[in-house]
């Protein structure tokens, strides 16, 4: 194979005497740019002799001396040609002495196989250069040699230098563009610059092309499929030294989010430049850009200037940024510009995190990146205390990123502590679920000053969230609190002692029936999962019941656990539940009073009234239904007697002393609970009915002394009531010492008397038949009323 240099030696020999007598020369470079498969390699004949064998597509000869002032006949034949007779095209060329040329072979040989209408030709440019006209520049000549491409512009968008080539048609040269030797980005657009066809990096500096001149060739097909699957479009560089053309790399991208976190008043609003281009105008403190595409593998000069800047020359700080393709970055501008006005030592800087995310790695999670950008804050930890998940961030120093923490999307509480976790600096709610951040990734920025007074009265410390979509950072709310008292009132023996969990944390161990916690603080405006488990539980997973609790800030609550856990053995079977009262009090609303909240928690007791009978206060609670609160009674602090009556107040079920004065409860608020079973025998011999007091300080509930205890077991007893359940009748066996009158009354669950069966005279033992055929199906209570005492039994009627 002959070299390109031998080609011109042959020219000299062939021209012989003419070359000697007329020693005029020109400089010439030949570039092969025909994408036709038939011309992938060609043979070049000069004046009938094969002088260049197998000259490949997208290669160039070096610049060499060529005869000037004489005709050179250049013939192009397909590779493996046998003689000059095989040439497919011939070009007679006369070069001008002392001129420099670039000759580009381009176009289609076999036009039938291609849709592009561009016959093969040799395109010659006079005035070519081998070096730049000005030191420090690179002079660029562009040739449009893409057979199916329209007229195009070349626009530099990185600095931006603007339009470099305007309206370059097929097979035209642009003329040289003298460019400062930098790494550029060229957008190849239509001639109206409305559509970018493709974007290329033009790394003149990286390729060491300072002071050079070169030719850029638009080569190949925009639509290879329509052109015999020929080579695809690209921009290729021919160097003066020749050789294989160098493909310009298409621009690859990384993604960048910029967050403004400088708490310096001087930088409260800034302009952001990329190179000489205004990228973000009036960029405010505690805002973020969205993730945007930026060209990768090229130097960007990021300039931060005051908001009233006129150009990048006004920048108060500049930073060089070079990113990797297909990578994502977060850049946080943070620190102090005007150092003398602040005690915090934290010079303004741009802190960049590679490996940023815009979505969580795992569905159902939220991935959280934390940046410590509080100029006067120490190294900190972030500890999740709600579930608790424990230490999320460990030893995060100033201007450091934590790396992503993959968190299940819940609402969390983050304690920001010193690095020893001995002191909680501040506590924040982190409502990932409430904000709808499932599957998202985000950045949490510690921002502002712990001590604003020592730092020009700058913005106070806070934790702020930057979303991938950008915008104003979202402040994490500091935790506000409510207060909660929990009272255990489930008389089910299976729940006599329980463990109480909040989320996965054991909150109360071995919590006994008829005890209460004191009022304790719990975080407000966040979901708490309260789990009730047996006393020997190992974890929250052992819970027999769970309840979601969400409280309001600065409010007080009482939560009473009541009802039946067991699947059988109790009548009626009232399911276990947690009954919450908002607006709880820990002290009386008026000095000299005692405020009393009444709760009906006796599962087999009917609807009742509470009547005060000692001081003449009358009806205190009307129609107290099971598991209902009846609001606070604001009573003067005195000693009272409370009669528990049927809802029509025809019968006193029991009477209790309420010695508020004697117990020293002036100015206090308390809860009185109806607790236990009216008929323990029908309820697994559980605890008997009584009224109990829960104080705000918690502890064992205080039983109110009973005045009338119901049936005196030494004198009388209902031995049996059967069948139960029944349909139309019931038999009652009664036993008394001596003789007694017994009145039999039937009540419904609402405490209404349904039927009076009259008075039975009982001597010793007696069996009585009661007709129930006129009573509809339902749950009832049969009251056995003696001369001074009573007894009640549950009765179920089915039809």
User: 587 with 558, same domain?
Assistant: yes
Task: Count Cβ atoms below 10 Å from residue 82 Cβ, excluding itself.
Answer: 9
User: 554 with 618, same domain?
Assistant: yes
Average of per-residue pLDDT across 231-235: 97
Final residue in a domain of this structure, among 409, 440, 475:
475
Q: Is residue 166 part of a domain?
A: yes
Query: 713 pLDDT band (50/70/90 cuts)?
Result: very low
Average of per-residue pLDDT across 366-372: 97
User: 448 with 370, same domain?
Assistant: yes
User: 325 with 418, same domain?
Assistant: no
Query: 674 pLDDT band (50/70/90 cuts)?
Result: very high
User: 523 with 653, same domain?
Assistant: yes
pLDDT at 384: 93
Q: Extract the tokens encoding 95.
A: 């070069």
User: 153 with 94, same domain?
Assistant: yes
Q: Is residue 588 part of a domain?
A: yes
For the chain, what is the domain count? 5
User: For residue 572, is the peptide bond before it cis, meaning its omega torsion is within 30 degrees of 0?
Assistant: yes
Residues 253-266 pLDDT 10s: 999 999 999 999 99
Residue 574 near residue 553, CB atoms below 8 Å: no
pLDDT at 761: 85
User: 756 with 786, same domain?
Assistant: yes
Task: Count Cβ atoms below 10 Å from residue 590 Cβ, excluding itself.
Answer: 11
From residue 263, alpha-carbon distances to 287, 338, 467, 471 in Å are 12, 11, 20, 17
Q: Extract the tokens encoding 286.
A: 């505690």
User: 506 with 457, same domain?
Assistant: no
Kindly tell me if the per-residue pLDDT of 407 is higher than 90: yes
Residue 128 near residue 29, CB atoms below 8 Å: yes
Q: Is residue 196 part of a domain?
A: no
Kindly tell me if the per-residue pLDDT of 647 is higher than 70: yes
Q: Is residue 188 part of a domain?
A: no
Residue 323 near residue 296, CB atoms below 8 Å: yes
User: For residue 388, is the peptide bond before it cis, meaning its omega torsion is within 30 degrees of 0?
Assistant: yes
Q: Where are the alpha helices (DSSP H) in 96-203?
A: none
User: 432 with 564, same domain?
Assistant: no
d(C-alpha 447, C-alpha 335), whole Å: 10
User: 257 with 244, same domain?
Assistant: no
Residues 678-690 pLDDT 10s: 999 899 999 999 9
Q: Percentage of residues in the chain with pLDDT exceeding 90?
A: 79
- Torsion, Cα 545 546 547 550, to 10 degrees, reads 160
- DSSP tag of 283: E
Q: Is residue 199 part of a domain?
A: no
Q: Is residue 280 part of a domain?
A: yes
d(C-alpha 136, C-alpha 193), whole Å: 29
Query: 461 pLDDT band (50/70/90 cuts)?
Result: very high
Average of per-residue pLDDT across 351-369: 97
Kindly tell me if the per-residue pLDDT of 380 is higher than 90: yes
Kindly tell me if the per-residue pLDDT of 23 is higher than 90: no
Kindly tell me if the per-residue pLDDT of 542 is higher than 50: yes
Query: How far apart are the two ends of the chain, measured CA to CA in Å?
Result: 112
pLDDT at 9: 38
Query: 103 pLDDT band (50/70/90 cuts)?
Result: very high
User: 585 with 699, same domain?
Assistant: yes
Average of per-residue pLDDT across 4-21: 39
pLDDT, mean over the chain? 91
Which pTM value belongs to this model? Answer: 0.74
Final residue in a domain of this structure, among 446, 475, 504:
475
Pick from 527, 427, 444: nearest CA to 479: 427
Query: 785 pLDDT band (50/70/90 cuts)?
Result: confident
Average of per-residue pLDDT across 313-325: 95
How far is residue 593 CA from its own chain's centroid?
50
Residues 485-540 pLDDT 10s: 999 999 999 999 999 999 889 999 999 999 999 999 999 999 999 999 999 999 99
Residues 431-458 pLDDT 10s: 999 999 999 999 999 999 999 999 999 9
Pick from 11, 238, 243, 247: nearest CA to 102: 238
pLDDT at 5: 42
Final residue in a domain of this structure, among 452, 475, 498:
475
Question: In terms of residues, how long is the chain?
Answer: 799
Average of per-residue pLDDT across 615-634: 94
Q: Is residue 687 part of a domain?
A: yes
Which residue's entry shows tokens 């562009």?
142
List the domain range (segments joined by +) for residue 601: 480-708
Q: Is residue 194 part of a domain?
A: no
User: 688 with 724, same domain?
Assistant: no
Q: Provide the CATH number for the domain around residue 469.
A: 2.60.40
Average of per-residue pLDDT across 575-599: 97
Beta-bridge partner residues of 214: 140
């Amino acid at each position: 194979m002959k070299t390109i240099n031998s080609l011109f030696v042959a020219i000299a020999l062939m021209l012989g005497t003419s070359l000697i007598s007329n020693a005029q020369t020109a400089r010439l470079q030949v570039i092969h740019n025909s994408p036709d498969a038939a011309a992938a390699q060609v043979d070049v004949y000069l004046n009938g002799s094969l002088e260049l064998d197998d000259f490949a597509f997208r290669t160039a000869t070096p610049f060499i001396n060529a005869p000037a002032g004489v005709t050179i006949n250049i013939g192009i034949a397909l590779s493996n040609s046998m003689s000059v007779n095989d040439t497919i095209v011939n070009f007679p060329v006369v070069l001008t002495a002392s001129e420099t040329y670039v000759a580009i072979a381009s176009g289609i040989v076999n036009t039938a196989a291609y849709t592009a209408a561009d016959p093969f030709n040799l395109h010659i440019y006079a005035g070519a250069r081998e070096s730049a006209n000005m030191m420090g520049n690179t002079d660029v000549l562009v040739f449009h040699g893409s057979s199916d491409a329209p007229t195009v512009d070349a626009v530099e968008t990185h600095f931006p230098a603007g339009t470099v080539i305007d309206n370059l048609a097929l097979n035209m040269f642009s003329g040289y563009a003298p460019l400062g030797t930098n790494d550029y980005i060229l957008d190849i657009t239509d001639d109206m610059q409305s559509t970018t066809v493709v974007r290329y990096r033009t790394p003149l500096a990286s390729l060491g092309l300072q002071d050079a001149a070169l030719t850029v060739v638009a080569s190949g097909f925009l639509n290879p499929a329509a052109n015999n699957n020929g080579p695809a479009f690209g921009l290729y560089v021919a160097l003066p030294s020749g050789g294989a053309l160098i493909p310009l790399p298409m621009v690859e991208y990384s993604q960048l989010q910029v967050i403004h976190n400088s708490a310096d008043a001087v930088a409260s609003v800034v302009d952001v430049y990329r190179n000489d281009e205004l990228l973000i105008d009036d960029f405010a403190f505690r805002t973020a850009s969205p993730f945007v595409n930026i060209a990768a593998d090229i130097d960007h000069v990021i300039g931060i200037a005051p908001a009233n800047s006129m150009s990048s020359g006004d920048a108060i700080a500049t930073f060089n940024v070079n990113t990797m393709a297909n990578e994502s970055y977060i850049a946080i501008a943070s620190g102090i510009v005007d150092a003398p006005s602040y005690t915090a030592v934290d010079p303004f800087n741009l802190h960049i995190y590679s490996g940023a995310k815009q979505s969580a790695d795992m569905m159902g999670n939220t991935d959280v990146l934390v940046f410590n950008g509080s100029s006067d804050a120490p190294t900190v930890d972030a500890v999740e205390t709600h579930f608790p998940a424990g230490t999320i961030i460990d030893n995060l120093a100033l201007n450091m990123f934590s790396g992503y923490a993959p968190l299940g999307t819940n609402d969390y509480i983050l304690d920001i502590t010193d690095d020893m976790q001995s002191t909680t600096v501040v506590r924040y709610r982190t409502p990932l679920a409430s904000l709808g951040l499932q599957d998202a990734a985000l950045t949490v920025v510690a921002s502002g000053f712990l001590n604003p007074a020592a730092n020009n009265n700058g913005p106070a410390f806070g934790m702020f969230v930057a979303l991938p979509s950008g915008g104003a950072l979202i402040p994490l709310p500091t935790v506000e609190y409510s207060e909660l008292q929990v009272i255990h009132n489930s008389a089910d023996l299976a729940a006599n002692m329980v463990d109480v969990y909040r989320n996965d944390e054991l909150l109360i161990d071995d919590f006994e029936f008829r005890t209460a916690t004191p009022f304790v603080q719990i975080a407000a405006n966040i979901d708490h999962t309260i789990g009730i488990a047996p006393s020997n539980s190992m974890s929250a997973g052992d819970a027999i019941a769970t309840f979601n609790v969400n409280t309001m800030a600065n409010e007080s609550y009482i939560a009473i656990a009541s009802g039946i856990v067991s699947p059988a053995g109790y009548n009626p079977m009232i399911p276990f539940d947690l009954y919450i009262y908002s607006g709880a009090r820990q002290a009386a609303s008026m000095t000299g009073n005692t405020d009393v909240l009444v709760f009906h928690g006796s599962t087999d007791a009917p609807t009742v009234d509470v009547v005060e009978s000692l001081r003449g206060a009358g009806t205190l609670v009307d129609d107290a239904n099971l598991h209902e609160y009846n609001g606070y009674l604001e009573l003067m602090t005195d000693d009272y007697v409370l009669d528990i009556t049927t809802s029509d107040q025809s019968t006193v079920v029991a009477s209790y002393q309420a010695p508020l004065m004697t117990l020293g409860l002036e100015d206090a608020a308390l809860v009185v609970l109806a607790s236990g079973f009216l008929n323990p025998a029908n309820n697994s011999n559980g605890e008997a009915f009584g009224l109990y007091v829960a104080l705000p300080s918690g502890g064992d509930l205080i039983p109110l002394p009973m005045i009338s205890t119901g049936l005196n077991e030494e004198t009388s007893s209902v031995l049996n009531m059967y069948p139960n359940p029944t349909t139309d009748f019931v038999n009652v066996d009664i036993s008394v010492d001596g003789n007694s009158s017994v009145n039999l009354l039937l009540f419904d669950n609402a405490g209404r008397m349904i039927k009076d069966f009259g008075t039975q005279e009982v001597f010793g033992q007696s069996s009585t038949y009661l007709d129930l055929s006129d009573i509809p199906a339902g749950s009832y209570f049969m009251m056995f009323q003696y001369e001074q005492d009573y007894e009640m039994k549950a009765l179920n009627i089915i039809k």
